C-alpha cells in the first residue's frame, strides 16, 4: 500500500489528495479525481495519522463517500483499518473515473508534515476544508495553518457547503486575486484552471488609498485628493495589465475580465467567490522561516470563500504593488 521511491518518482507531477473518511474529505476526493482527469495525470490517495474511520453504521466503502457520511469519526485501532479506509477511497475513485490511474498509501507522519510532503512530489495537492483524524481542523487550527504556510506546491482547499461534484452546476468563472508582480505562478495557475475548465477568468485587484482623513472624520475626495486617487487608480490598472499581458498571449482562448477597485481585498474576494468555481490566490512569503505565515486576505478566503480555493506559494521578491497601493492578496 505504501508508495516506495520508485512509485514517488513515477508519480511526480501528479495530483495528490489527503483523505480521512469525512464528507468534506469525500468532496476533496471528487475534486481531485476531476483535477487529475483534466490534467491527464495519475492520482495519489493518502491517509495520514492519527488514523480514523467513520463511526459504525456501515462499512467504509459502502457509500461512505456520499452525502450520508457524517462529519464525525473515531480513531482506528490498527494500520489495517487505516489501509481499509485508503482502499475504500481508491474504490470510490474507480467508480468516478474507471480509467484513471490511482495509487494509495497510509503514512505515519504528523498531519501537517504529510500534507507538506505531498506538495513536494505533486503538481497539485487537494484537501477538504475541515477533516478528521490525520487532517482534523484543517484550515481551522494550527495543523492547517502550518500546512498552508509550508506547502511547496499548489494546494487546493475544497471548502464551502458544496454538493457532490456530479451535482454541481459550473458557474463558468475562475477568480484570481491579484496583488502584483510577484504573483506570476498564481496567474499562470489561474489561466490554466480557466483553460481546462473552459471558463472565463475574472481578475480582481484591490488597492487602498492610505492618505485618509483622521479617525472619525469623513474622507472628502475633492480637488487635489480626488486627482491623486485617480492617478493612483490608473497606475494600478497599468500594473494589472502589465502582469496579465504575457499570459493573455499564451492563453488566447481564455476570456479575461480584469477589475481594479478600491477597498479591502479580503471582503471583495470573499464576495466574488460566490460567483466562481474556484478562487486562486498567491500565498506570499519572504525568505526564512520567520516569513512562513499567511496574510489576512489568504486567511479570509480559506475560512470564508464560497468555492474551492487554490493557494499558490510565492516568494516575495520586492516587486509587488508598492507605494500607496498594494492592498491586494497577502
The CATH number of the domain covering residues in 5-166: 3.40.50.620
User: How many CB atoms lie under 10 A from the CB of residue 227?
Assistant: 11
- Superfamily for the 170-315 domain: HUPs (3.40.50.620)
In whole angstroms, what is the distance from residue 12 CA to residue 9 CA?
A: 5
Which tens digit of pLDDT belongs to each residue from 206-231?
A: 987 766 544 544 555 556 777 777 78
Give the model's confidence band at 100: pLDDT under 50 very low, under 70 low, under 90 confident, else very high. Answer: very high
- Where are the domains positioned within the chain? 5-166, 170-315
Grid cell 480513531 — which residue? 75
Give the model's confidence band at 197: pLDDT under 50 very low, under 70 low, under 90 confident, else very high. Answer: very high
Peptide bond connecting 143 to the previous residue in cis, omega within 30 degrees of 0: no
Torsion sign over Cα 188, 190, 192, 195: negative
pLDDT at 285: 72
- Contact between 169 and 196 (Cβ < 8 Å): no
pLDDT at 239: 92
pLDDT at 53: 44
In whole angstroms, what is the distance from residue 194 CA to residue 173 CA?
A: 7
pLDDT at 257: 96
Q: With both helix axes pointing from N to C terminus, report the angle between 23-39 and 79-96 in degrees, rounded to the nearest 10.
A: 50
CATH topology agreement for domains 5-166 and 170-315: yes
- Contact between 155 and 125 (Cβ < 8 Å): yes
In whole angstroms, what is the distance from residue 182 CA to residue 321 CA?
A: 9
Amino acid at each position: 500500500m505504501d508508495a516506495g521511491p520508485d512509485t514517488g518518482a513515477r508519480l511526480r507531477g501528479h495530483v495528490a489528495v489527503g483523505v480521512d473518511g469525512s464528507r468534506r474529505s469525500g468532496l476533496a476526493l471528487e475534486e481531485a479525481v476531476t483535477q487529475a482527469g483534466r490534467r491527464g495525470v495519475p492520482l495519489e490517495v493518502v491517509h495520514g495519522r492519527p488514523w480514523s474511520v467513520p463511526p459504525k453504521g456501515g462499512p467504509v466503502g459502502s457509500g461512505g463517500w456520499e452525502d450520508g457520511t457524517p462529519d464525525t469519526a473515531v480513531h482506528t485501532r490498527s494500520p489495517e483499518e487505516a489501509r481499509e479506509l485508503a482502499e475504500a477511497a481508491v474504490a470510490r475513485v474507480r467508480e468516478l473515473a474507471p480509467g484513471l490511474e490511482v495509487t494509495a498509501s497510509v503514512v505515519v507522519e504528523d498531519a501537517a508534515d504529510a500534507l507538506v510532503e505531498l506538495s513536494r512530489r505533486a503538481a497539485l495537492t487537494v484537501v477538504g476544508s475541515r477533516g478528521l483524524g490525520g487532517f482534523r481542523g484543517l484550515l481551522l487550527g494550527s495543523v492547517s495553518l502550518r500546512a498552508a504556510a509550508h506547502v511547496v506546491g499548489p494546494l487546493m482547499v475544497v471548502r464551502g457547503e458544496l454538493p457532490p461534484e456530479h451535482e454541481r452546476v459550473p458557474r463558468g468563472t475562475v477568480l484570481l486575486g491579484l496583488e502584483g508582480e510577484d504573483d506570476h505562478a498564481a496567474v499562470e495557475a489561474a489561466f490554466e484552471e480557466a483553460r481546462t475548465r473552459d471558463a472565463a477568468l475574472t481578475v480582481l485587484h484591490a488597492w487602498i488609498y492610505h492618505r485618509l482623513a483622521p479617525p472619525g472624520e469623513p474622507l472628502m475626495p475633492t480637488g487635489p485628493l480626488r486627482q491623486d486617487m485617480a492617478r493612483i487608480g490608473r497606475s494600478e490598472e497599468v500594473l494589472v495589465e502589465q502582469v496579465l499581458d504575457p499570459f493573455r498571449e499564451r492563453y488566447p482562448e481564455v476570456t479575461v475580465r480584469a477589475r481594479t477597485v478600491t477597498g479591502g481585498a479580503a471582503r471583495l474576494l470573499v464576495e466574488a467567490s460566490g460567483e466562481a468555481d474556484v478562487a486562486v490566490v498567491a500565498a506570499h512569503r519572504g525568505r526564512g522561516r520567520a516569513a512562513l505565515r499567511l496574510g489576512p486576505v489568504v486567511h479570509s478566503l480559506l475560512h470564508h470563500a464560497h468555492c474551492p480555493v487554490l493557494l499558490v506559494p510565492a516568494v516575495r521578491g520586492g516587486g509587488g504593488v508598492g507605494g500607496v497601493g498594494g492592498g491586494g492578496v497577502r
